Amino acid sequence: MTILPKWRPWLRLGRIDLMWLLVMAALAVLASTRPRHSPYEFLALGAIALMQVAEMRFPVFASRGGTIVAVVIKLALCWVLVGVTEGIESSYYLIFILPVVSAASTFGLAGTLLTAFAGSLAYLSFLGFVWDRYELPPEGARELGIRILFIFMTGILLNHFVTENRRQAELYRKLADDLAQANRDLHQAQAQVRRSERLAALGQLSAGLAHELRNPLGVIRGSAELVSKNVSAENEVVREMAALIISEADRTNGLITRFLEFARPSPLHRCQADLHAVIQEAIHQVQRSLPSGANGLRLETDFCKDMQPFSFDPELMERVFFNLLENGVQAMPGGGELKITTRRLGDVVQTEVSDTGAGIAPENLESIFNPFFTTKQNGVGLGLAIVSKIVDDHNGKITVSSQPGRGTTFTVILPLSEAS
């Protein structure tokens, strides 16, 4: 039972292996019919067959070094087989093609020709055993030349076939990579279209609700102010309730204002502006909004050196980066690293805002830019929706990648020209 796993590769012989063993068995049968056959001939044939199967079955021979070892062993076994079967006149001279095949499947043309040269020398070495007893006539020299050239010709053709096969395989691999990338881009485009459709529908709904709620809300607030001014000083409960109504009306009015900012089209006021200056201003705003005792927060910037001013709305893009930075800070209540990186990629500029916070659950990644979707206890779910809308209005793109427990990265891509 303990020996079986070591021999398991031999027990799973494929059709090629069986065909190879059948061919070698047929050679052994034909060899047995020769009048002067030698038992060493069968041993050499068996060793070559086993070596060929081992080369195809064991991964150790798949490396470059393993192929060199296999080629050397095959050359030695082929030399033995030809040596025990009449040497230079052996019918097995074509057996030297086997190591050439192995070399052609792994090495380039130079390695294939070197193996063919080594096989030819091994075959011609048998002339030394009969040189003092026989004379080589012109017909024999011509026959030897044809045999040697046939070995070289086989190596060249095999190498060309293997090289072309590798080229086709690389072409198919690149095509598969391109198709996979196109499929990923298609999924992203579909997700962006779905998000845009949801944004448009919810935007129209938000605009209608905001307009309908703002008028009665103004009446409620005005009535509460009137009650607060006219109630007697002794009626503290009524004054307190009026103040609470006014406070909640103001908070609701602020929420309605954010609804309208999301719903109504935001006209862009483009101008030639410095993106790094806009990001620095957003950073200063975030730093000013931090509690005075906030510790453990590290902010790092890695700005592109060759960034030139380009056309965009600096006020709206400042809001974009402020929201992204604020989200990063809120994702790290115990401190962490917040990093902003910019780089120029052709005709676009890419900005990454990364944090080391808790991250976003995979099932929430596609919904993170949807309006009214939030995982915060007191959140409204409009911040990232407005950010996405502003970036879309700039003909840009925003994506998010996150690993739970390791942080989140928002990537904003903006075109350097309005026509891009």
- Whether the predicted pLDDT of 203 surpasses 80: no
- Angle, CA 218 vertex, CA 213 and CA 220 arms, to 5°: 95
Residue 410 phi/psi, 5-degree rounding, is: -100, 135
Give the β-pairing of 336-345 and 297-302: parallel
CA distance 199 to 369: 9
Say what the pLDDT of residue 377 is: 62
Say what the pLDDT of residue 289 is: 78
Maximum mean pLDDT: which of 37-51, 82-96, 247-261, 309-323: 309-323
At a CB cut-off of 8 Å and minimum separation 6, what does 166 contact?
none
- Indicate the pLDDT class of residue 128, thresholds 50, 70 and 90: confident
As a whole number, mean pLDDT of residues 143-167 equals 88
CA distance 108 to 217: 82
Would you list the DSSP string of 286-310? HHHHS-TT--SEEEEEE--TT---E
Say what the pLDDT of residue 3 is: 43
H-helix segments, 88-137:
97-106, 109-124, 127-130
Say what the pLDDT of residue 409 is: 94
At a CB cut-off of 8 Å and minimum separation 6, what does 74 contact?
48, 51, 52, 98, 99, 102
Say what the pLDDT of residue 221 is: 83
pLDDT digits (tens, 9 = 90+) for 238-247: 878 888 888 8
Residue 400 phi/psi, 5-degree rounding, is: -135, 140
pLDDT digits (tens, 9 = 90+) for 293-306: 556 788 899 999 88
As a whole number, mean pLDDT of residues 16-44 equals 76
Query: Per the structure block, which two tokens stand in for 222?
Result: 């005005």
Query: Per the structure block, which two tokens stand in for 17?
Result: 């292996």
